[in-house]
Amino acid sequence: MKAPILSFLAFAIPIFAAAGDGDWAAAYAKARTALAKLSNADKAALATGIGWEKGPCVGNIAAIAAIGFPELCLQDGPLGVRYAPGITAFPAGITTGSTWDTALMYARGNALGTESKALGVHVQLGPVGGPLGKIPEGGRNWEGFSNDPYLAGVAMAQTVAGMQAAGVQACAKHYIGNEQELNRASMSANIDDRTLHELYLWPFAEAVKANVTSVMCSYNKVGSAWSCESGSTITDILKNELDFQGWVVSDWGAQHTAVGSANAGMDMSMPGDGYGNNKFIWGAALISAVSSGQIAQSRLDDIALRILAGWYFLGQDASYPTVTGWSSWKSPTSSVPSVQGNHKTVARAIARDGIVLLKNEGNALPLNKPATLAVVGYDAILNPQGANACVDRKCDNGTLAMGWGSGTAQFPYLIAPLDAIKAQASTDGTVLTTSTSDSPSAGASAAASAATALVFINADSGEGYITVENNVGDRNNLDPWHNGNELVAAVAAVNKKTIVVIHSVGPLILESILALPSVVAVVWAGIPGQESGNGLVDILYGSTSPSGKLPFTIAKAASDYGTAVVPGDDSYPEGLFIDYRHFDKSAIAPRYEFGFGLSYTAFTYSNLSISPLSTATPSAGIAPGGLKSLFDIVATVSATITNNGTVAGAEVAQLYISLPASSAVPASPARQLRGFDKLSLKPGESGSVVFQVRRKDVSYWDVGSKSWVLPTSSFGVVVGASSRDGRLTGELA
């Protein structure tokens, strides 16, 4: 095996970074000076998009000459600049989460921001903290990072920090309760207060802590109010409790009334005109509502102040690029700047380090110059019509490298698995046979005489305005697409060394595949973006030892999850108990647990050290307004990790904490992720992992007092390789 490629990033990023070099007080001072020069018509213009397809970006705010405010550009999306040419199509959020690598999370965010700014984008619509992913079939789960709020929260904070350090305003979306595509614009998410705070709000709170400048409210209702008209979630929680300094924008077309949305705390209407039907809910109607007293003048001033403050906070008032040569609606011109830089190295690193090795019997992997190799499956090749042939990726043709919908971008190129394997096979002198359809008989014919067979299968999903193969956004089930189970079975029947490679937006039920004795390895390659094949070859051939870990649980049966897409309103009956929390509570054995992932080497854990819980931290509840103290470090947990294998590799050590089993503490999950640290080690080398435990990490949301409460009893501590592979146990008191 070749020497592993370790992280190319020389910098270390704090796990909870604050974004940008701006200062909110200074930004608001500038905003107040500018506000004094604005009429109410100007303020309403700041708050109202100019209309769908009436500017170059998916969202546009008109320029205001009196204060030198440019035409503001808001553009998708979370993995690349949508519709723009020559950008980097990064791995999706869920694959980024699979790396458990804070440096890569930051680097990806910084690259996204750098490309957006160079193209004149002021606000990039991402990252995604909702859907959190409680429903495994949820169509847009792949845009986010994990269904664990802690892992998702770290990724949100790092992404926001990276984007805004590049000078682009990040927009945390979709706030809140948009957990499925079915009926997303009519259903209500009825989330109890504790569950909202401890699960669904958590990633957004981390984004706010990282100084995110904007948040997007979602299509659904929250309780009886539309999300964009929910004063309890926008004003009471986001702006008052979390002390959010930025502005709230509607999802496109998610605003319903002028007065209700303004008084609830929404600050910007997009795209403004109801998707081209010229029905402006704000604009002149906003001015009229202020004149009639239905909306206070102070609220209109606050709207303008918040939008201006976000602009000043990141210094966008000084020499910011303009949109040149490209448009969301027209073919680009030759004057479009090149923005990719060396970002393909970040894309490849994430595609590589986000791969999770699920099974590897008899050291089937890494491949070592096999004499013969079969590559089977439609997912191994580029879409024959081209990587960008399907608008917004609304098909599952060829290899799957991103889902579908508004969270997509144009591939500048896409390295398909077969192309990368061909290059390696040529170097190794390997004879390849291929079957690039999903025909079981053709696959078996290609694999019959090969020493090893690689079978590629996938499963896709996306946003509900698009239907692909009868899947209306959400997946219909958790099976592989295109009869993937049958394809694998046919190959495994004739080839005793069958390796399955999976590209998927989320969990699949793998029982029929794993039951086949000839399936000796399973590689979870996620949603890898433009460097798909290159990242995969790095792992398959062992230039890098796999280090990815699952950001969700893979069950033995779909019913094991306890959640599913619902036809009407969702009362969230499962409460806190989603994914591994549910499996633990119900004593269900997963197929592969949250945080699981194999390596080509082996790691041992030792020397657990737990500092005493800080006695300087009071146990009384922290009410709204006391947010900063929630991030105080109250304990430190550390351990030693040793690579006792024969090759270099990286291990993700995970910290799980159990709240005290006390009558004073409400029913809680058996264990919850509250820290992780990724360590790269050479053979025989040891290193320390350190977890800083914040007050919030060991508190629960008390519904009665509406505050975070730190229990006074002792906490269970587990440090291990997954949610069910605890290596070291102790007590925090």
Catalytic residues: 251
Q: Is 426 exposed, middle or buried (0-12, 13-18, 19+ CB in 10 A)?
A: exposed
Rounded Cα gap, residues 200 and 238, in angstroms: 12
Q: Is 1 exposed, middle or buried (0-12, 13-18, 19+ CB in 10 A)?
A: middle
- Within a 10 A sphere around the Cβ of 384, how many other Cβ atoms? 10
Q: Residue 532 forms beta bridges with which residues?
A: none
Q: Are 733 and 614 in contact (CB under 8 A)?
A: no
Cα-Cα-Cα-Cα torsion 98, 100, 103, 105, nearest 10 degrees, comes to 40
Cα-Cα-Cα-Cα torsion 527, 387, 394, 327, nearest 10 degrees, comes to 110
Question: What tokens appear for 661 in the block?
Answer: 């089993």
Which of the 8 DSSP states describes residue 711?
A: -
Q: Are 408 and 487 in contact (CB under 8 A)?
A: no
Rounded Cα gap, residues 438 and 375, in angstroms: 11
- CA-based end-to-end distance of the chain: 45
Question: What tokens appear for 696 in the block?
Answer: 């919030």
Which candidate, 461, 508, 460, places its Cα nearest to that of 488? 508
Rounded Cα gap, residues 157 and 587, in angstroms: 33
Phi/psi region, residue 71 (left: phi>0; alpha: psi -120 to 50; beta: rest), is beta
Q: Are 194 and 703 in contact (CB under 8 A)?
A: yes
Rounded Cα gap, residues 332 and 339, in angstroms: 14
Which candidate, 147, 139, 200, places its Cα nearest to that of 565? 139
What phi and psi values does residue 675 have, to the nearest 5 degrees? 175, 155
* Sequence-ordered list of residues with C-beta below 8 angstroms from that of 99, at least 6 positions apart, any chain: 105, 350, 353, 354, 547, 548, 678
Judged by DSSP in three states, 497 sits in coil
Rounded Cα gap, residues 499 and 489, in angstroms: 11
Judged by DSSP in three states, 202 sits in helix
Angle between helices 417-428 and 532-540 (to 10 degrees): 40
Continuous H helices in 77-148: 93-99, 102-118
- Pairing type for strands 431-435 and 356-360 reads unpaired
Q: How far is CA 309 from CA 32, 212, 301, 627, in A?
A: 9, 12, 12, 21
What phi and psi values does residue 512 have, to the nearest 5 degrees? -70, -35
Which candidate, 228, 208, 207, 226, places its Cα nearest to that of 216? 228
* DSSP states along 33-47: HHHTT--HHHHHHHH
Give me the residue label for tokens 């479009």. Answer: 336
Rounded Cα gap, residues 78 and 407, in angstroms: 6
Considering Cα of 501, then 503, then 507, then 512, what sign does the dihedral take? negative
Asked if the bond preceding 271 is cis, omega within 30° of 0, the reply is yes
